[in-house]
Amino acid sequence: MRFPLLALLLLWYNNTAMTDTTVRVRIAPSPTGDPHVGTAYIGLFNYAFAHHHGGAFLLRLEDTDRERYKESSAHAILEALTWLGINPDEGPEIGGPVGPYIQSERLAIYREFAEQLVQAGHAYHCFCSRERLAEMREAQEAAKEAVKYDRFCLCTMHEEERRQRVRDGEPYVIRMKMPDAGATSWTDLVRDAVSFENALIDDQVLLKADGYPTYHLANVVDDHLMGITQVIRAEEWISSTPKHLVLYQMFGWEPPQFAHLPLLRNPDRSKISKRHSHTSLHWYRDEGILPQALLNFLALLGWSHPEEKEVFTLEELVERFTFERFNQSGPVFDLEKLRWLNGVYIRALAPDELYAAVEPFLQRAGLVQAHPEPEERAFAKQCVVLEQEKVRTLAEFADLVAFMFNPNFTYEDEAVKKWLRPAPEHVRPAFYQMIEHIEPLPEEALTAEKYEEITRTIAEALGVGAGKVIHPTRVAMSGRTKGPSLFHMMEVLGKQEVLYRFNRTIDVTRGGEE
Ligand code: GLU
C-alpha cells in the first residue's frame, strides 16, 4: 500500500522538523474566486513573522469545498502574492519537502487519519440522512437547546454494526467524538487566554460523504504533517480552534501555537465583504495601487509600528514584528487612507521605477504602444514624471497626461470661456510673440527656464502681469486651466508641438474649430 508508507514518511519528516526550533507558518486560502485582500493581510503577517525568525512561509490551498472551488483561483492566489512581494517559500507550483500543497491531492492521507481516529474510538461513522438532521435541528431549536448532533449513530448502534453498514456500501460521514466535559483552552499569541466549554461543541464531521475531508480534519492533519509551528489566521476561525486542539490531542500530536488576528471590517464594522468594500486584489492592482503601498496599508490596519510611524517598508515590518503590536478591535478598511499612502509611495519612486509601473496603464489607454520605441518611451516617461507630485493612483496618470500625446485635445469649456472666446485683448498678441521668440531658437535651447524667460519678457512688453500670459498659454498647450508645471510641460512637448499648439489655439480665438 502506497499511502500508509507516504504518511509514515511525512510523519517522520515532521517529527524531525518539530524537534528543531525553526519557525514554519502558512496561509491556507480556499481557491473560491479572485484572490482576496484578506489573504494578503493574513499572508503579510505570516510572511513578516517567518522572516523575522528566519523561518519558512508556506502556501497551502484548501480546496476541499468542491462546490465553491474555482480552478483559475489557485494560480491567481500565487500570482497575487508574487505581485505583492510576499513570496511563499513552499507551495503549489513552487514545491517543497512536505507537498503536495493542494488538499485535493492529499485525500488518501486524510482518509487514513480519519480511520485512525475511528480505530482509537475518537471518531465514529454516522449514517444520518439530511432529513433526519434537519428534523433534529428543528426539534432542538423548538426546545431552545443548543443545536448539535445528538449522537444517534453512536448511541443506537455498536461499532460492529456501523462497520457492517460501511461494508454494505451505505453513504456515511465520520464524526469526531468531542469530550462531554471540561474545557479546551489555549494562550493565544494575540489575545492571551481563550477557553471554550467542550460540552457546547458539536461532534464535528471530519470526513464527508463525498470522501473529502472537512476543513477541520484537513487543516489539522496538514498543519501537523507540514511542521507548522504557529498558526496565524483571522479571528473568524477562533471558534474552530478548540476542535482543532482536541484533534491534536486525539492524534497525540503537539499542537502549534495560535494567533488570531483582528478581522478586516467594512465601514459599518461588519466582516469585510464584496458588497461593501473591494475585496479582490485584482481591483487594487487595476486601480494602480502600488503593492508596497497596499502592504503598508494592510500592516497599519492590524498592527502599529513601535514608533507610531505610518509609512514603513516591508523590511521594517519584518524587523520590528511582534504580536504585542496588534490591536484587538476590528480595523476598518479606509480606501481614502490607502489612496493617500499610495500617493506617498508614488512620489518616492525614481523616474524609471515610476514609468515601469505606469506604462501598462498608458498602454491600456492607447497612449503608448505595446512595444514602444526608445524615443516614444522616453517621451512618455517625461510626461509621467510631470504629474508625479499630484496623483494618488497609477490609473490616474492616463487621463492626466493624455493631452501630451494628442495635439488635437479638447479644450475645457471653462478654459475657452475665460481665455479664448472672447479672448482678452492681449492674448492673441501674446501667442504671436511667443511664436516669434520660439521659432528661431534650436530645440536644445528651449528649456523650461528659457520658456519661462520668454513668457515673462512678453508679459512685460505687453504691460500685463506674467499670469495673464501664463494662464492662456497653459490653455493653448493643454486645453486646461490647471496642470503640471507649464514650462516643463513645454520643454517635454518640444518646439514643433509647442508651435503647433499656439497656432491651433490662435485659430480657436478666431472662431475656428476647437
Ligand atoms: N481555508 C481557511 C481559509 O480559507 C484557512 C483558515 C486557517 O488558516 O486555518 O482561510
pLDDT exceeds cutoff 80 at 149:
yes
Task: State residue 268's pLDDT score.
Answer: 82
CATH code linked to domain 5-261 = 3.40.50.620
pLDDT at 18 over 80: no
| pLDDT per residue as tens digits for the range 56-74 | 999 999 999 888 888 889 9
Each residue of 404-418: pLDDT tens digit?
999 999 999 999 999
> Which residues are CB-neighbours of 453 under 8 A, at least 6 positions away?
none
Q: Which ligand 1 atom sits closest to the C-alpha of 28? A: 5
Best mutation site among 24, 189, 214, 219 for ligand 1 pocket (most ligand atoms within 8 Å of CB) = 219
Q: How far is the CA of 62 from the centre of ligand 1 (A)?
A: 7
Ligand 1 residue neighbourhood (C-beta within 6 Å): 28-30, 62, 215, 219, 233, 237
Q: Is the pLDDT of residue 470 over 60?
A: yes
Across 341-353, average pLDDT = 98
**Quick check: do 5-261 and 413-509 share a fold?**
no
Give residue 233 CA to ligand 1 midpoint distance, Å: 7
Ligand 1 midpoint to CA 464 (Å): 69
- The residue-averaged pLDDT of 32-51 equals 96
* Alpha-helix runs per DSSP H in 168-276: 215-225, 241-251
Q: Which atom of ligand 1 is nearest to the CA of 27?
A: 8
Residue among 451, 436, 432, 459 nearest 493 (CA) = 451
Q: What is the dihedral of CA 420, 421, 424, 428, to 10 degrees?
A: 50
- The amino acid at residue 372 is P
pLDDT for 77-91, tens place per residue? 999 999 999 999 999
CA distance linking residue 395 with residue 379, whole number of Å = 18
Active site residue ranges: 274
For residue 119, is pLDDT > 70? yes
Q: What is the DSSP letter of 332?
A: B
Q: Considering the chain, what is the average pLDDT of its residues?
A: 94
Cell numbers 449514517 label which residue?
A: 127
Per-residue buried b or exposed e for 105-138, using 16+ beta carbons within 10 Å of the residue's own CB: ebbebbbbbbeebbeeebbbbbbbeeeeeeebee
Would you tell me which CATH number, out of the four given (3.40.710.10, 1.10.8.70, 3.40.50.1820, 1.10.1740.10), belongs to the domain 350-400? 1.10.8.70
In the prediction, which pLDDT does 275 show?
81
The owner of cell 517522520 is: 12
Is the pLDDT score of 439 beyond 50? yes
* CA-CA-CA-CA dihedral for 79, 81, 86, 91, to nearest 10: -80
CA of 29 to the centre of ligand 1 (A): 5
- Index of the ligand 1 atom closest to the CA of residue 233: 8
Gap between the Cα atoms of 510 and 306, Å rounded: 64
Q: With 0-12 CB in 10 A as exposed, 13-18 as middle and 19+ as buried, what is 492?
A: buried
- Does the pLDDT value for residue 2 go beyond 60? no
**369 pLDDT exceeds 50?**
yes
Q: Cβ atoms within 10 A of the Cβ of 438, count?
A: 18
Ligand 1 pocket test target in 24, 25, 26, 30 with most atoms within 8 Å of CB: 30
Segments making up each domain of the chain, as ranges: 5-261, 350-400, 413-509
Asked if residues 314 and 295 have their Cβ atoms less than 8 Å apart, the reply is: yes
| Structural contact between residues 71 and 273, judged by C-beta atoms closer than 8 angstroms | no
Tens-place pLDDT, residues 169-191 = 999 999 999 999 999 999 999 99
* Segment 493-506, tens digit of pLDDT: 999 999 999 999 99
Pairwise CA distance, residues 149 & 156, whole Å = 13
Q: Where are the beta strands (DSSP E) in 123-278?
A: 123-126, 173-176, 183-188, 192-197, 205-207, 230-234, 257-261
> Could you say which of 3.40.50.10860, 1.10.10.350, 3.40.50.1220, 3.40.50.300 is the CATH number of the domain covering 413-509?
1.10.10.350
Q: Check pLDDT > 80 for residue 325.
A: yes
What are the backbone dihedrals phi and psi of residue 326, each rounded to the nearest 5 degrees, phi first?
A: -80, 140
Q: Which pLDDT value is given to residue 513?
A: 63
Number of CB atoms found within 10 A of residue 443's CB: 10
Distance 50 CA to ligand 1 centre (A): 18
State the distance from the centre of ligand 1 to the C-alpha of 282, rounded, in angstroms: 20
Asked whether the predicted pLDDT for residue 3 surpasses 50, the reply is no
Q: Are 433 and 461 in contact (CB under 8 A)?
A: yes
Q: What 3-state DSSP class applies to 205?
A: strand
